[in-house]
């Protein structure tokens, strides 16, 4: 049995910095959205755009973690498909307590895929 690889200190620090920057970015957006002030029309447009961009991020994650041509492994993680990333994404997007499902149920009929 092989030992798990330990990241070199510089790689571990780079990983921590990257994660920290990503969390800071998301937390800043959450802070802006959570303000108790009414949104202007311009802010509503920016928020709509951000939701569309989030959709692009999700689609890209699904594409990157799709299964291979043979259908047995994640094309990014090289583990049996679905990988933990895709399984987690699925759980979050289909959780009835979170906003995506509520938005669909209360306000929208998604377009049919052809």
Name the token pair of 91. 């759980």
State pTM to two decimals: 0.71
**In order along the chain (114 residues), what is the average pLDDT of each group of 10 residues?**
73 92 90 86 89 92 83 87 92 89 75 66
Per-residue pLDDT, 109: 63
pLDDT of residue 1: 53
* Residue at token pair 């928020």: 47
3-state DSSP call for residue 62?
A: helix
Residue 114: how many CB atoms within 10 A of its CB?
3
CA dist., res. 94 & res. 110, Å (int)? 14
**Both tokens of residue 34?**
């959570």
Dihedral angle of Cα 110, 112, 113, 114, to the nearest 10 degrees = -160
What pLDDT shows up at residue 78? 87
CA 25 to chain centre: 13
Domain ranges, ordered by start, for the chain: 66-108
Distances (CA, A) of 82 to 12, 32, 70, 107: 27, 34, 13, 30
């Amino acid at each position: 049995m092989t030992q798990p690889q330990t990241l070199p200190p510089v790689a571990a620090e780079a990983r921590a910095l990257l994660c920290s920057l990503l969390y800071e970015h998301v937390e800043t957006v959450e802070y802006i959205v959570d303000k108790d002030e009414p949104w202007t029309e311009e802010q509503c447009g920016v928020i709509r755009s951000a939701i569309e961009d989030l959709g692009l991020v999700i689609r890209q994650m699904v594409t990157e973690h799709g299964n291979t041509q043979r259908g047995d492994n994640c094309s990014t993680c090289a583990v049996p498909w679905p990988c933990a990333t895709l399984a987690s994404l699925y759980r979050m997007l289909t959780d009835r307590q979170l906003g995506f499902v509520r938005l669909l149920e209360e306000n929208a009929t998604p377009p049919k895929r052809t």
